[in-house]
Amino acid sequence: MGNKNFYITTPIYYPNDNVHLGHTYCTVATDAVKRFKEFQGYDVFFTTGSDEHGQKIENTAKEKGQEPKEYVDGIVENIKELWDKLDISYDSFIRSTDPKHQKNVQDIFKKLYDKGEIYKDFYEGPYCTPCESFWSEAQLVDGVNCPDCGRPTHIEKEEAYFFKLSEYTDKILKLYEDNPEFLQPKTRVNEMVNNFLKDGLDDLSVTRSSFDWGVKVPFDDKHVVYVWIDALSCYLTAIGYGHDEELFNKFWPADVHFVGKEIVRFHAIIWPALLMALDIPLPKKIFGHGWILFDNDKMSKSKGNIIYPEPIIELYGTDALKYFLLREFSFGQDGSFNMDKFFNRFNSDLANDLGNLVSRTVSMISKYNDGVIPEPTNPAPIDEELKEMAVNTLEQVEKYMENFDFSNALETIWKLIRRSNKYVDETEPWVLAKDEDKSRLNTVLYNLAESLRIVSVLVYPFMHVTSDKIRKQLGVEEAVELEQAKTWGLLKSGNKVNKSEIIFPRLDIAKELVRFDDANTALIESRAGDAPVLTDEKSKPDVTIDDFAKMDLRVAKVLKVEDHPNADRLYLLHVKMGKIQKTVVSSIKEHYKPEELEGKNILLLNNLKPHNFRGIESAGMVLAAEDEDGNLSLCTTISEMEDGLTLS
Ligand code: ME8
C-alpha cells in the first residue's frame, strides 16, 4: 500500500477579499478526501494557495491605498489563519507571488513560445474587467454582457501573445470521450461541449499590457502573463515543478482538481490544452462542485448576506461546520444555506443522534458497571443486525468517497449511529439492570460501546476532533486506523470510560440565531473598517469639459416597451425626447417589467454610435447604476422634468 500516491488540489483562491463560507466548502471537502485517502493507505499531497496577480487585485489595492503585495499579504494571512482554525491539513500553500513560481511561469511561457504554441498579434474584443476575460461576440449575453458574471463588457484592443487554443478543440473532445471520468459530474461535460467546444475554440490571448501586476513575459516585459496561466501553473510549482524533480515525479499527474462550477472551463479546456502543449501528463480528474447560495441567492458583500466561517467555528466548533457543509449539500450541485438549516442539523444529527449516543453509552457504563467496559458474554439474536451493520458501513462509505459523495458517506455513518440509538431503545438496559444476572446488560453495554468505537473510526476523516473526543471517553488509546472499522470486538473489556462534557449540547435556535448574527455582523464590520477606501481615487482618467460636451445626454420618456424579436434578454425601448422619437435596444429586461417603465422618464445618451444588436440598430444607451451583484437601477431626475431636455 505504501507506494500509492494521491495529489489533490483546491482552487488557488483570489486574495481579493477574505474568504467566505462558499470558499471554505471546497477546502473542507479537500481536507476530508486527504484524510480519507491517507486512511486508505495513500501518500497524499494537498495543495491550496493564493492567486495574487491581475488587474482586479491591482485595482483593489489601489482603492485601499496600498501596494498590491502589501494588500494581499494581509488577506493571505487571514486565509491561512482560517485554515489553521479549521485544521486544514494542506501540504503546500502556494502563493503565485513566490519567486520560484514566477520563474516557473516565465519558463512555461518561454517553452510554449519556443515550441510555436504562442505567437504575437493584436487583440480587440469585448473584455470583462472583473473576470479578466476576453470573450467572443458570440459568447456575450444580450450582445454586451459577460457570460460568466453578467456584467457589461467593453471593447479593449491591445498587442498580445496568443496561445493556439483553437488547435485543441478536437483533442479536448477526444479527451472527454476517451476518459469519461476526466470531468465530473457528467453534466459539466455537456456544459463544456455546448458552451465552448461545439463551435470550436478560439486562440486565447495569454498576455496583458494594460496593467503591471503580474509575471512579466521573460522576453518582452511590456506584457504580463495572463492570470489563469499563472494560477493554473501553481498546481505544478506546489509539488516541485522546476525545483524538486523527485517530489514532482512522485505526485504529478494530479489525481483530482476540485473547482467551483464557474471555473471548470479553465480547468477542463485551457489547462489540459496547455499541458498537452507542454508535453506534461494531464490531471486524472476535474471535479466541478456547485455553489453554496445564501437563501438561494449568491453570497455577496453588497447584499449583506456574506457568511464568514469564523463565527460559526468560534460558537459551534470546527467539526459542526465541517459536518454540516459535507452532509447538507450534494458536492456536485448548488445548495442553499441559512443558519436555520445549520442549527436544525446540529440539533438533529449532532446533538440528538451522535451526542446522545456518546453520552448515554458512557453514562450507562459509568452507572451500571463502575465505568468499566464489560465483557460481552451473553449474545442474543437482536445483536446481530447491529454488529453486521457496524462492520459493513466502511465498505459503503468507501464507495461513496470514491465519487466524492460526502453527503451519502456521512448519511451511511449516521444510519449506524441511529441504529445504535435504536438498539438502546430495543434492549432497554435500564430494565436489564434490574436482573440479578448482569451478563445480558453487560453484553448490551459492550455492543453499544463497540459500535460507538467503530463510529469514532468512521467519522475521523470528516471530524477528527470529535473522533478523538469519543475515543477518549471510551478509553481507547490506540491511534485510529481504517482497518479498525472492519472488525467487531476490538474494544478491550476492562477499559475505563471517561465520562466528560456533552460533545454537542442542544442549541436553542431562536437564541442562537441572534447570537450568531451579532458575531457575524461584528466580523463584517471589523473587516470593512480594516482599510479605508481613499475618496479621491478615480476609476477613469480625467475628461475635459469639451469631452463631456460631446455627449448628448437627454431626459427621455419611455412610450412603449417590447421584447426584442431575436434576443430573449433584450428590450426595445421606444422613447420620446421632445419631438424626437427613437428606439433603443437595452439589456434591462431582467430588471424591469414593461409596465414599470412605460410613461416614465429616464436618462439617455442620445448620440452613441449606432450598433446592431441581433438585427436591430440602436443609437442610444440608457443610464443606470449597477452594483457588483448585478442589481440595477435606471437613472432619472430628482424632480419631474420635460422629456427632450439636454443634461448639462
Ligand atoms: O476563481 N460556493 O478564485 P476565487 C461554493 N483564482 N464555492 C464558491 C462560492 C460559493 N458561494 N464562491 C466562490 C478563482 N466559490 C481563481 C482560481 S485556480 C487555478 C484559480 C469557489 O477565489 C469558486 O467556485 O474567485 C472557486 O472554485 C473558488 O471558490 C475560488 O474562487
Is residue 568 within 8 Å of residue 145, measured between CB atoms? Answer: no
* Mean pLDDT (whole number) for 606-632: 82
Give the span between the Cα atoms of 538 and 450, in whole angstroms: 67
Q: Which residues of 477-486 are buried (b: 16+ CB within 10 A; e: fewer)?
A: eeebebebbe
Distances (CA, A) of 496 to 75, 326, 605: 47, 33, 81
Length of the chain: 648
Please give the residue that has the higher pLDDT: either 637 or 5.
Answer: 5
**How far apart are the C-alpha atoms of 288 and 194, rounded to whole Å?**
16
Structure confidence at residue 609 (pLDDT): 82
Q: Decide if pLDDT at 536 tops 60.
A: no
pLDDT tens by residue, 313-344: 999 999 999 999 999 999 999 999 999 999 99
- Averaged pLDDT for residues 560-574: 87
Ligand 1 pocket mutation pick from 19, 20, 23 by most atoms within 8 angstroms of CB? 23
Residue 512 has pLDDT above 50, yes or no: yes
Residue 255 CA to ligand 1 centre (angstroms): 19
Q: Which long-range contacts (CB under 8 A, 24 or more apart) does 61-69 make?
A: 61/213, 62/537, 63/533, 63/534, 63/537, 64/531, 64/532, 64/533, 64/534, 65/531, 65/532, 65/534, 65/537, 66/531, 68/213, 69/97
Q: Please check the confidence at residue 385 and state whether its pLDDT lies above 90.
A: yes
Q: Is the pLDDT of residue 614 over 80?
A: no
481-493: per-residue pLDDT in tens?
999 999 999 999 9
Mutation to probe ligand 1, out of 108, 263, 337 (largest number of atoms < 8 A from CB): 263
Residue 530 in this model has a pLDDT that exceeds 60? no
Given the CA of residue 11, which atom of ligand 1 is nearest to it? 18
* Predicted pLDDT of residue 541: 64
Tens of pLDDT, residue by residue over 9-55, are: 999 999 988 999 999 999 999 999 999 999 999 999 999 999 999 98
Q: What pLDDT score was predicted for residue 141?
A: 86
**Cα separation values, 583 from 28, 574, 586, 617, Å:** 52, 4, 10, 8
294 Cα–ligand 1 center, Å: 16
**Ligand 1 atom closest to 290 (CA):** 5
Nearest CA to ligand 1 atom 25: 14
Looking at the predicted structure, is the pLDDT value of residue 391 above 60? yes
Mean pLDDT over 92-111 rounds to: 98
Q: Is 244 helix (H, G, I), strand (E, B) or coil?
A: coil
Task: Measure the CA–CA gap between 431 and 364, rounded to whole angstroms.
Answer: 12
Atom 3 of ligand 1, residue of closest alpha carbon? 13
How many Å lie between the centroid of ligand 1 and the Cα of residue 538?
28
Q: Which pLDDT does position 619 carry in this prediction?
A: 83
**What's the pLDDT at 3?**
61
Among the ranges given (2-6, 386-390, 415-419, 427-431), the one the predictor scored with the smallest mean pLDDT: 2-6
Q: What share of the chain in percent tops pLDDT 70?
A: 97
Ligand 1 mean position to 260 CA, how many Å? 6
Q: What is the Å distance from ligand 1's center to 422 Cα? A: 42
pLDDT digits 0-9 by tens, 209-250:
888 999 999 999 999 999 999 999 999 999 999 999 999 999
Average per-residue pLDDT for the chain:
93
What is the per-residue pLDDT across 293-319, written as a single tens digit (0 to 9) for each? 998 888 877 777 889 999 999 999 999
Question: Residue 531: is its pLDDT beyond 50?
Answer: no
pLDDT value of position 148: 77
pLDDT above 60 for 542: yes
Ligand 1 center from residue 26 Cα (angstroms): 9
Q: What residues flank ligand 1, with Cβ below 6 Å?
A: 11-14, 22-23, 25-26, 51, 231-232, 259-260, 262-263, 291-292, 299
Close Cβ partners of 546 (under 8 Å, ≥ 6 residues apart):
none
Q: How much distance in Å is there from the Cα of 266 to the middle of ligand 1?
A: 12
Nearest CA to ligand 1 atom 20: 12
Q: Which contacts (CB < 8 Å, 24+ apart) does range 241-246 have?
A: 241/104, 242/100, 242/103, 242/104, 242/107, 243/100
Find the mean pLDDT for residues 521-532: 72
Tell me the residue ranges of DSSP E strands in 510-579. Answer: 553-563, 571-577
Separation between Cα atoms, residue 616 and residue 611, nearest integer Å: 8
Q: pLDDT at residue 622 above 60? A: yes
**Mean pLDDT, residues 431-450:** 98
pLDDT at 270: 98
Q: Residue 294 CA: which ligand 1 atom is closest?
A: 11
User: Please, which pLDDT band fits residue 137 given cuts at 50, 70 and 90?
Assistant: confident
Which of 182-196, 519-533, 534-548 has the weakest average pLDDT?
A: 534-548
**CB neighbours (10 Å) of residue 10?**
24
Confidence check: pLDDT of 535 > 70:
no
Q: Is the pTM of this model over 0.75?
A: yes
526 forms bridges with which residues in the sheet?
none
* pLDDT in the model for residue 2: 47
Mutate to test the pocket of ligand 1, among 8, 9, 13 (most ligand atoms within 8 A of CB): 13
pLDDT score recorded for residue 316: 97
Residue 146 has pLDDT above 90, yes or no: no
Contact 47, 237 (CB under 8 A): no
